[in-house]
Amino acid sequence: MNIPKIDIYNIRKDFHILERIVYNKPLVYLDNAATTQKPKVVIDRIVNYYENENANIHRGVHYLSQISTIAFEGVREKIKTFLNAVHNYEIVFTRGTTESINLVAASFCDKFLNEGDEVLVTQMEHHSNIVPWQLACEKKKAVITYIPFDDTGNLILSELDKFLNNKVKILALTHISNALGTINPIKEIIARAHQKNIPVLIDGAQAVAHLKVDVQDLDCDFYCFSGHKVYAPMGIGVLYGKEKWLNLMPPYQGGGEMIKTVSLDEGTTYNDLPFKFEAGTPNVSDVLGLESAIDYIINLGIDNIRFYENDLLAYATLKLKSIKGLKIIGNAQHKASVLSFIIDGIHPYDIGTILDKLGIAVRTGHHCAQPVMDKYKISGTVRASFAFYNTKEEVDMLYDALIKALQMLR
């Protein structure tokens, strides 16, 4: 078998921030589930846009506007191919996963949710895939219900059909849990929901950087992700929606670009897809940065990335399990490169603070997934999350720093 390879040391040269020294220690960045670092090609693309191409796009007749428009719409086509959507107008640019979910929760529910209806999510969701649905249900006097998960971090799918009743108007769930690392079997779940004619939204914020996503193969109705979790800038995101739903849904925001005509006497007619959902001046520079990040991932190969990160996760899991009193939270068989843990008798914040002074950047707390913490009856975890630029040597440094932290705290 040909084992895919990643030239890790050359890759790390593309990320200058990884050469930083913090508190007189080399930076070990293990907070990739919160945000990924940006390769130089992404940063250079943004700088080049502002130095050489900056203009507002669409409808501009001058040269800079035209070349910027062509570049911007070329990214839409690139993402269509990246996700294997049918049409480029099924790709809507947003500020991130959170706005994408809010867009669907507000617009879809305004059209299709009525009093007494249900919205179905899971208990392992990020707050961004809970609160927008709660707001929509409160507005419409509907009910939000939750698919539970077990102690290993797997959804209890034996109960799924019980939840997929004729009151459910939409199911929204995460592809990969940001707090547990669980990779949910979303293709199976989508198929079962569609048997009941229930559309499905997938929160792909944690997935796109680690897995190949094919929206046609999954047959999801909506899929969303954030650029900053996939080596692109902050402030840009993507909502994929099937043409059928996007045509039926009303606009999310009003303003420029999302209109065809505006009349003081006869009202407004809305623009075609995707512009109906893209009010205002778009974030052109970061869309172009997103393209460079996607190209970077494509060049590395998503299968190569997945293999490398799986190997790194397995190594880190084995290493950290050897620490007395350490308990990993989230032990699903199918996981992405997220390792959440607690240590008996020690608050996660205290561990994270000491790790920081030793140059190790991890995340502590509830990770915007408080229902997950409630399930385990804990206040939070320490979360180390890995990317393709991390190394086993950095895992060893995490291990050594944890040993030092425990010596100080016990």
Beta-bridge partner residues of 269: 261
The answer to whether 382 and 348 have CB atoms below 8 angstroms apart is: yes
The CA-to-CA distance between both ends of the chain, in Å, stands at 47
* Catalytic residue status for 368: yes
Catalytic residue among 137, 220, 224, 368: 368
Closest to 99 measured CA to CA, from 274, 239, 233: 239
Chain centre to alpha carbon of residue 225 = 4
324: exposed, middle or buried (Cβ count in 10 Å: 0-12, 13-18, 19+): exposed
The answer to whether 364 and 30 have CB atoms below 8 angstroms apart is: no
CA distance 375 to 19: 39
The answer to whether 130 and 102 have CB atoms below 8 angstroms apart is: no
The answer to whether 274 and 280 have CB atoms below 8 angstroms apart is: no
Closest to 358 measured CA to CA, from 396, 322, 307: 396
Q: So which residues are the catalytic ones? A: 368
